[in-house]
Amino acid sequence: MVVVLLVVYGVWDIIMHARESLQALQFDRTHIEPLRLQGSINFLFLGLVITAVALVPSPWRMLLMLAATGGSLLLGETAARHANQFTYAPIIEVAVLFLGIFLTMIPALEFLDQHGASLEVNTPARFFWITGALSSFLDNAPTYMTFFEAARVQTSLTLGGTTVAGVQDIWLKAISLGAVCMGANSYIGNGPNFMVKAVRGGRWDQDAVILRVYGLQRPYPDSSLCGDHSADVLS
């Protein structure tokens, strides 16, 4: 899937580059800046977060993640955050959105607790394809929870077999694979997509960064340098 996305973005970048104006192409040739890495100390804090998620039990996990956040704010480069126009607004927006999603899931999960067995989703193939299909257009975390609950209810009605967290082992594998592997089929409704949309905030320069997946070309400071095609790209 990653290779497919890189190919699609690469082809799109080539097509749009060919449609740029002579002025924009000249700007590319005369305004070349070397790649630089700022804020490399944040790799340390990122490593702490990954370690906390993978190895540290609760409540120490959350404390370590908060400590990593504080360390990044104190020791990270303020200039880099200002250059990236960093604010807390995107994460707040996404947090509120997902709070609403999970709150509205409560009645649906209660319904599944009572009627999950009547859905006739009772084979590994069905769990895989239905979970995957919905994860392609909805965030895969609530989709996973929905079919996990449906599988848990049906597991309680069956006898035998290995279970994990109250769900048949083979069903849990099918649900997990469907949610993870097919969640990247599109970014409609996906958590990272909400974050990108919130960070972008309608600013053209960040749109250019997203479209130019390789990140090797500096965005134009003035959208007029892009000719008449910038509106087509961003509409």
What total of structural domains would you count in the chain?
2
The first and second tokens of residue 106, run together, are: 């409560």
Q: What pLDDT is recorded for position 80?
A: 83
Is residue 24 domain-shared with residue 117, that is, in the same domain?
Answer: yes
Residues 126-155: tens digit of each pLDDT = 999 999 988 888 878 888 888 898 888 887
Pairwise CA distance, residues 4 & 135, whole Å: 18
Q: What pLDDT is recorded for position 176?
A: 92
Q: What pLDDT is recorded for position 157?
A: 65
Q: Specify if 166 maps to a domain.
A: yes
Residues 180-190: tens digit of each pLDDT = 888 777 766 66
Is residue 158 domain-shared with residue 92, that is, in the same domain?
Answer: yes
* Triad 211, 92, 81: Cα angle to 5°: 60
Which residues of the chain fall below pLDDT 50? 202, 204-235
Is residue 49 domain-shared with residue 144, that is, in the same domain?
Answer: no
Is residue 117 domain-shared with residue 214, that is, in the same domain?
Answer: yes
Determine contact, residues 221/205, Cβ cutoff 8 Å. Answer: yes
Q: Specify if 81 maps to a domain.
A: no
Is residue 46 domain-shared with residue 143, that is, in the same domain?
Answer: no
Q: What pLDDT is recorded for position 58?
A: 85
Q: What pLDDT is recorded for position 215?
A: 39
- The string of DSSP codes covering 53-107 is HHHPPTTHHHHHHHHHHHHHHHHS-HHHHHHTT--SHHHHHHHHHHHHHHHHHHH
